[in-house]
Structure 1
Amino acid sequence: MARHYGMDWLRIGAFAILILYHIGMVFVAWPFHAKVAPTIDWVAIPMLAISPWRLTLLFLVSGYASRALLRRWRSAGSFVVHRSWRLLVPLAFGILVIVPPQSWVELTTQHGYTASYWHFLTHDYFRFGMLDGLVLPTWNHLWFVAYLWLYTVVLGVLVALPTPPRAQAAFDRVFGGIGVLTLPILWLFATQVVVFQRWSDSHDVWNDGVAHLAYFPAFLFGYGLAGSDAAMAAMVRWWKPAAFLAIASYAVTVVIEVAYPGLARPPQWVSDLSVWARQPHTWAAIVALIGVAEAYLNRDHRWRPMLTEAVFPFYIIHQTAIVVGVWWLLPLALPAAAEFGALTLITIAACWVFYLGGREIGWARPLIGLRPKVATPAQPATTEPTL
């Protein structure tokens, strides 16, 4: 299985975009753990360009990486055990240590909570119940890690079962042409609009079935794509029409957002149109991004191994850095542009400190999603992606 550097760069870029997206959540009217006041309606317009596909793409590239990891670990059982260690240890660490400041800031800034952080941590966070509408303890943004672990276990079970001898050949035939663009869109229409109507994710792994119908197939598609030169070539061939379709679908949501900004409630038919437009936007953008990455970014660079390794630690810490950063900045009452710039710098600095510091401490490496250190300091410890 040849390494596709374009997919590495796409993974790095997707997580960088996710961090900027979560910074943007501070400024729009949509619910988030920390908010500026007043919010800025127009910020939603660039965020709507990202919102439909960002998570589906992350699950797809995680499925893609899982194919290489399965080959590395040879058996499905070893793969599941290894991935469980790499995912569940950081998830537990995140729930216990990284996420609590987010809940405290949300309670103090939006719910009138007055107790100190220490009191919150020792008396309220581990209540295993509700506090003013918030479930505690919680995983917040780390829900993605929990879902990824679940999909990994299911993949391990599927791989351990007898596999039809021409399964990959069938994948190549189905997705080796225009089907790579059209068939997933039809699946999204059927599952996300016609049979069910999905407006958002619940982040509750047991009660988020409609989201699983989007994310798990994307994960499996990524696994199949990692072994399919035909499907990858089709994405390269069809990326321009896909980009046009994604932009056209996005234009529909922009018109709706401009007409009904912020938390305004449009008529039902307008809401339905928004949900319909979201589906081609989701998959067409993914096809376009993968096609561009494969055609133009499939080359290595000296920064790639470090950035590939840094993705998971960045993901673990970034939202807490954002939320705590907002809490620090709110008393300063900065202009919105200055607040955005300061918050971006705080978040980037926190991510790098968390990664560069944690990778040098042997016992901390598993907590932040890194493998045990087995290389000399002059060499990257690993280029194996975790997410």
Structure 2
Amino acid sequence: MQRPKPNFDVSDCLNDGLTQRRHDLELLRIVALCILIFYHTGMLYVSGWDFHFKSDYQSETLANWMLLVNPWRMSLLWFISGVALRHALHKYGSWISLRQRCVRLLLPLLFGVLVVVPPQLYVEMAGKAQLPSGLTYLEFYRAFWQWNHPLFADYSSGILPHMDVNHLWYLRELWKFSLLLIVLHFAWNKLSSMFPAAVSAIETRMGLAVDGARLSALLILALVALDVAHLDDRNMTGLLFLLAGYFLASAAAFWQHIFQARRQYLIGAAVLYVLLLCMYNLVWLVPTRKEQAWVDPSAAIIYRLYAGCCIMAALGYARSFGERFQAFSQRWSEAVLPIYILHQSLIVVAAYVLKPYAFGAVLEPMLVIVLTVAGSYVAYLVIARFNVLRVCFGLKWTVVSAEAGEQAGLGWRIRQGLAYLVLVPLAIKLVL
């Protein structure tokens, strides 16, 4: 008996479907987070790749496995964030979406920089022998709160003196780019209300001008062009995919195309991955070959084409499995942001604690992953139970009943006002 093929309803991606829950993208966010945990664990062990802390058990061969996900892991998250922002703007409008983004991105960013990131800095400095002998973490943390403390003279400032964002740069840039998109969305809606016929004609013409395959190709070619032009830093690439997610969220032709062509994209990704490995091992790692003029653009084209095919395949297959794992994605989608904030600190601290025991090149990374996953799970269970922790990790404040919600209304508004008051200086710092 054959398994029934997954169905694809184009109407799910039309404007009227922007308020529908995207189980496929929720599932993909969870998978992307799992990939990120394995990737950042791999950063401890891959030889020649800089990281906050390195294990004694390093391997050059591991780079081949890291290249499997390195080209596309963050771009996929940016794309999903763009789709989510479009859904939020469609559902809540510009002003409410802006308020939500400020609280649910800036507050976790500030909390993360002040509480979650410092253990990484302690481990990094301890690993580089930059801490006085016997300095405890509590003593380090007290020094951490002193502006311009000489202990951190070699560390440049991030959003605060010697307080860098580390892996939370994504939250920082996501807030800044979201602010830009919300302003553009507001301006476009104003134009639509002032000149409805002209705007409608433009939107209709744009919708008829391109099909799904062209939209996909245009996005991949834009990614390649950024790299070839040496404009492919993580912020520019992130902005590209955030914009792409926003504009393609309701493009039914695009979603239908990647669903139907998901197998072709996967095959293309497999072929390009082999080419990428050949380029990396046979050319990139050989200094005399790497210096040749054709190497850099060729490597950029292969690298980015591979990334584009992986992202399209991931989106297409997520469309296939989204409904099957609907209950799973609904259960765990809320945990993604808190675990994202925590995971790298858990990885680095676990590796630091395990290093003196010399467990070996196989057992140590397995233990790091187990400790990270277990720590993330326990931490999320605790975070989910307490509203103060929930908002610090970007989750919604919960009430047990409608009556409790009414009683908490004034208190909630006061807490929200205080949160905005705390976040205004940070917002100004990030914008300027």
Q: TM-score range by the shorter chain?
A: 0.7 to 0.9
Quick check: which one's helix share is greater?
2
Q: Post-superposition shift, 1:310?
A: 0.3
Correspondence 1:97-176 to 2 at 5 A: 97-114=115-132, 115-124=135-144, 126-127=146-147, 131-133=153-155, 135=157, 136-161=162-187, 162-163=191-192, 164-165=199-200, 169=204, 172-173=207-208, 176=211
Which of 210, 215, 228 is the aligned partner of 1:180?
215
Question: Are the aligned partners of 1:89 and 1:366 in contact in 2 as well (CA < 8 Å)?
Answer: yes
TM-aligned CA deviation for residue 260 of structure 1: 6.7
CA 290–32 in structure 1, closer or farther in 2 if over 3 Å, else same: same
Query: What amino acid does structure 1 have at the position aligned with 2:336?
Result: V
Q: Does 1:35 align with 2:85?
A: no
Partner Cα distance (1:168, 1:336) in 2: 56
Q: 1:196 aligns with which of 227, 230, 238?
A: 230
Change (3 A) 1:180 1:36: same
C-alpha deviation, 1:216, in angstroms: 1.2
**Hey, what's the Cα distance between the residues in 2 that align with 1:34 and 1:373?**
37
| Number of the residue aligned with 2:76 | 57
The aligned residue for residue 304 of structure 1 is 329
Shift of 1:291: 0.9
- Deviation, structure 1 residue 101: 0.6
RMSD of aligned Cα (Å): 2.4
3-state SS, counterpart of residue 70 of structure 2: coil
Shift of 1:38: 3.6
Bigger Cα displacement from structure 2, 123-132 vs 10-19: 123-132
| Shift, 1:179, TM fit | 1.1
**Greater radius of gyration (CA):** 2
Counterpart code for 1:348: V
- Report deviation, 1:350: 1.1
Note if contact 1:325-1:347 (Cα within 8 Å) is conserved in structure 2.
yes
Alpha-carbon distance in structure 2 between the residues aligned to 1:347 and 1:78:
35
**SS of the counterpart of 2:245?**
helix
Could you tell me which amino acid in structure 2 is paired with residue 62 of structure 1? S
Contact 2:78 2:238 in 1 (8 A): yes
1:284 to partner: Cα distance? 1.3
Q: TM-score, normalised by structure 2?
A: 0.78
How far apart are residue 375 of structure 1 and its match?
4.6
User: What amino acid maps onto 1:328 in structure 2?
Assistant: V
Alpha-carbon distance change, 134 to 108 in structure 1, aligned in 2, over 3 angstroms: farther
- Matched with 1:10 is 28
User: Which stretches in structure 1 are left out of the alignment for 5+ residues?
Assistant: 199-209, 377-387
SS of the residue aligned with 2:250? Answer: coil
Q: State the distance in 2 between where 1:238 and 1:62 align.
A: 23
For 2:305 and 2:126, the matched residues in 1 are separated by 40
- Select which of 13, 20, 39 maps to 2:38: 20
Given that residues 177 and 234 in structure 1 are in contact (C-alpha distance below 8 angstroms), is that contact kept between their aligned partners in structure 2? yes
Deviation string for 1:307-355 (max 9, x for gaps)? 1000001101000000000110000111111011100010001111111
* Cα distance change on mapping 1:170 and 1:340 into 2, 3 Å: farther
The residue type equivalent to 1:79 in the other structure is S
Higher mean displacement: 51-60 or 360-369:
360-369
Q: Check conservation: 1:181, 1:242, Cα contact below 8 A.
A: no
Of 226, 243, 254, which residue of structure 1 is paired with 2:266?
Answer: 243
Q: Which runs of 5+ in 2 are unaligned?
A: 1-16, 193-198, 402-432
* Aligned-residue identity in percent: 29
Q: Residue 259 of structure 1: CA displacement? A: 3.5
CA shift, 1:77, in A, is 1.4
Between the two proteins, the alignment pairs up a number of residues equal to 363
1:267 deviates by 1.6
How far apart, in 2, do the equivalents of 1:99 and 1:285 lie?
30
Deviation at 1:89, TM superposition (A): 0.6
Aligned to 1:218: 241
8 Å contact 2:216–2:254 — kept in the other structure?
A: no
Confirm or deny that 1:66 pairs with 2:108: no
The one-letter code of the counterpart of 2:79 is L
C-alpha spacing 1:236/1:285, structure 2 compared with 1 (3 Å)? same
Q: Which residue number in structure 2 is paired with residue 48 of structure 1?
A: 67
Structure 1's 303 and 245: CA in aligned 2 closer, same or farther, altered over 3 A?
A: closer
Q: Distance in 2 between matches of 1:334 and 1:82?
A: 45
Equivalent-residue separation in structure 1 for 2:210 and 2:144 (angstroms): 50
Q: CA deviation at 1:42?
A: 1.4
Taking structure 1 as the reference length, the TM-score comes to 0.87
Which residue of structure 1 lines up, in the alignment, with residue 104 of structure 2? 86
Residues 123, 348 of structure 2: 8 Å contact kept: yes
Tell me how far apart the structure 1 counterparts of residues 284 and 227 of structure 2 sit (CA, whole Å).
Answer: 24
